[in-house]
Amino acid sequence: MTFPSPGGIFAAVERRCADGDPTPPLCLFDGSQPSGTPLTPAQARRLLYDRSACPETRTALWRQIAERVHMDSDGRHDWPTAVLWLGLPGLRRTAFKITSRFGAEREDVEAELATCYLEALAAVDPHDADPGRTVLRSACTRAWSVWRTAYLERAVDDVDGAGGTPVAADCEDLWQADYDPPPGTHGLSATLRITVPAHRVEGVRLGALARAWGLADTAASVGYSGRGRQVATLSLRRAGRT
């Protein structure tokens, strides 16, 4: 599933899950029923962030959510998206703080937070006494660190003092690379777009670019050899050209 970029990932997830009811449902284990009381996603989300709710109840719900993150999206229950929707209230404040503090693009910040959250949820210890706090704190801390590092390494006007080459340039001096997941990809997917100065591209093979951008494991070459399955498309062009 590919989310539209206008409004950001958070808004797209909110729209998609507004009336969703994925199966199997989350359950409330309060002793009233041996198998638990089924909850709608909206009911579960209210409990997750209700500080007056029983801590054991919230812990049990987060553990169920951690199990759901491993379910594939098949168009029927779509738990991977619902899992992200359940975490949004715990991510929004950090998203706002990052965009305000570091001047980052909201869409990029939300994408980073969503990735960190899903990765933390997938790796949560099943015996963690407070998995919700652990997951949200890990996601927010990692995303903050990413943007803080990017902010500290931002381009400066005094390039002579920095020993580098000016990054600011017109469209003719910039190259843009788009990394697209293959059509029909299930779950969360979006185009990764990177713009770099021309001096970073000239004389460098696409394979080297892929390694520099951390895509070496998925983008092995420009062509398709006919073996295995397509994992992505990597295109390179001058910025401003379609």
Structure confidence by residue, pLDDT tens digits, 16-52: 888 888 888 999 987 677 778 999 999 999 999 999 9
113 within a domain of the structure (yes/no) = yes
Co-location of 31 and 106 in the same domain: yes
13 within a domain of the structure (yes/no) = yes
Co-location of 35 and 114 in the same domain: yes
Whole-prediction pTM value?
Answer: 0.62
Last residue of a domain, one of 152, 181, 203: 152
Q: Residue with structure tokens 């997750």? A: 48
Residue 209: its pLDDT value, please? 55
Co-location of 83 and 180 in the same domain: no
Residue 204: its pLDDT value, please? 44
What is the spatial distance between Cα 54 and Cα 128, in angstroms, rounded to a whole number? 16
Q: Record the tokens describing residue 144, joined without a space.
A: 């903050």
Last residue of a domain, one of 95, 118, 152: 152
What is the spatial distance between Cα 63 and Cα 131, in angstroms, rounded to a whole number? 7
104 within a domain of the structure (yes/no) = yes
Last residue of a domain, one of 98, 119, 152: 152
- Answer whether residue 75 shows pLDDT above 70: no
Q: Which residues form the domain of 54?
A: 8-152
What is the spatial distance between Cα 60 and Cα 46, in angstroms, rounded to a whole number? 14
Co-location of 137 and 47 in the same domain: yes
Residue 5: its pLDDT value, please? 47
Mean pLDDT of 186-190: 59
- Total tally of structural domains belonging to the chain: 2
157 within a domain of the structure (yes/no) = no
Co-location of 183 and 233 in the same domain: yes
Which of 12-26, 104-118, 177-191 is most confident? 104-118
- Answer whether residue 91 shows pLDDT above 80: yes
What is the spatial distance between Cα 153 and Cα 151, in angstroms, rounded to a whole number? 5
User: Do the strands 192-197 and 26-28 form a parallel or antiparallel pair, or are they unpaired?
Assistant: unpaired
Co-location of 183 and 117 in the same domain: no
Co-location of 217 and 102 in the same domain: no
2 within a domain of the structure (yes/no) = no
Co-location of 34 and 128 in the same domain: yes
Contacts 24+ apart (CB under 8 A), 147-153: 147/98, 147/101, 147/102, 147/104, 147/109, 147/112, 148/102, 150/102, 150/104, 151/101, 151/102, 151/103, 151/104
Co-location of 121 and 185 in the same domain: no
Co-location of 147 and 204 in the same domain: no
1 within a domain of the structure (yes/no) = no
Cβ 57 vs Cβ 28: under 8 Å: yes
161 within a domain of the structure (yes/no) = no
Residue 33: its pLDDT value, please? 73
C-alpha distance from residue 59 to each of 42, 85, 133, 135, 211 (Å): 17, 17, 9, 12, 40
